[in-house]
């Protein structure tokens, strides 16, 4: 039995779900998202909550059961509150600024890095050393954060680079004389 799969996904105030076959469409104040489940599970709407049940006891059906429930929950959280990733920039002269839909990053290269904001995501830079990425698609928000972080990952000697807020970077000791 899947501990995650057997919990129904409650729909918050202002969020509606529409199930057509294996496709669920969730509408909320922040937008609309949909997900198509595999044929190994059944989606149903009961008492203002979405319930996912497996079709059989095969290993694949049990795997899809918990995964589908998690995907449906991510849809409801996304359209009601949204997802957010925060990045910090550390290093002398490293900074970020927004110019229209372009994020300009000064990361110690001979040129500034221009990162275009993809559709479905909003990027803001409240301070020169902070970047906030928000959106209703958890996968897209995480991927955009990872793509920005990839330009200058934190290095282990001085800790310079782009890191997630609250991330602990393992520091190494430098050369000894």
How far is residue 71's CA from residue 41's CA, in Å, rounded to a whole number? 13
Rounded Cα distance, 162 and 124, in Å:
15
pLDDT of 35 higher than 80:
yes
| pLDDT of 40 strictly over 70 | yes
pLDDT digits (tens, 9 = 90+) for 47-94: 889 999 999 989 999 999 999 999 999 999 999 999 999 999 999 999
**Model confidence, pTM:** 0.88
Top CATH class of 9-80 equals alpha beta
Average pLDDT over residues 24-44: 94
Q: For residue 23, is pLDDT > 80?
A: yes
Where does 12-160 show beta strands of DSSP type E?
16-20, 23-28, 31-36, 41-46, 49-54, 83-90, 95-99, 102-106, 113-116, 121-124, 130-135
Report whether pLDDT(1) > 80.
Answer: no
**Nearest by Cα to 9 from 84, 80, 77:** 77
Check whether domain 83-164 has CATH 3.40.50.450, yes or no: no
Half-sphere exposure of 81 (CA within 13 A, CB side): 7
pLDDT score of 163: 95
Angle formed at CA 173 by CA 170 and CA 174, multiple of 5 degrees = 130
Q: Answer for the pair 25, 17: CB distance below 8 angstroms, yes or no.
A: yes
Tokens of 35: 């997900």
**Could you tell me which residues come within 8 angstroms of residue 34 by beta carbon, excluding any fewer than 6 positions away?**
23, 24, 25, 26, 75
The reported pLDDT for the residue numbered 5 is 87
What integer pLDDT is reported at residue 3 of this predicted model? 85
For 93-125, how does the pLDDT look when each residue is reduced to its tens digit (9 = 90+)? 999 999 999 999 999 999 999 999 999 999 999
Q: Which residue has the higher pLDDT, 152 or 175?
A: 152
Distance between the two ends of the chain, CA-based, in angstroms?
59
Look over the chain and give the mean of its residue pLDDT values, rounded to a whole number. 93
Per-domain boundaries in the chain: 9-80, 83-164
What is d(CA 111, CA 125) in angstroms, rounded to the nearest whole number?
Answer: 19
């Amino acid at each position: 039995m899947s501990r995650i799969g057997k919990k129904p996904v409650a729909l918050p105030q202002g969020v509606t779900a529409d199930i057509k076959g294996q496709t669920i469409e969730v509408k909320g104040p922040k937008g609309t998202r949909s997900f198509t489940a595999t044929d190994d599970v059944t989606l149903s709407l009961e008492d203002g909550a979405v319930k996912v049940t497996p079709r059989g006891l095969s290993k694949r059906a049990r795997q899809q059961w918990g995964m589908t429930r998690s995907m449906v929950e991510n849809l409801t959280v996304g359209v009601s509150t949204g997802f957010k990733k925060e990045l910090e920039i550390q290093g002398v002269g490293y900074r970020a600024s927004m110019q229209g839909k372009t994020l300009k990053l000064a990361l110690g290269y001979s040129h500034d890095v221009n990162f275009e904001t993809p559709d479905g995501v909003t990027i803001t830079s409240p301070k020169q050393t902070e970047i906030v990425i928000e959106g209703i698609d958890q996968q897209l928000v995480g991927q955009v954060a990872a793509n920005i972080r990839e330009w200058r990952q934190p290095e282990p000697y001085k800790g310079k680079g782009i890191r997630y807020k609250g991330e602990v970077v393992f520091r190494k000791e430098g050369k000894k004389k």
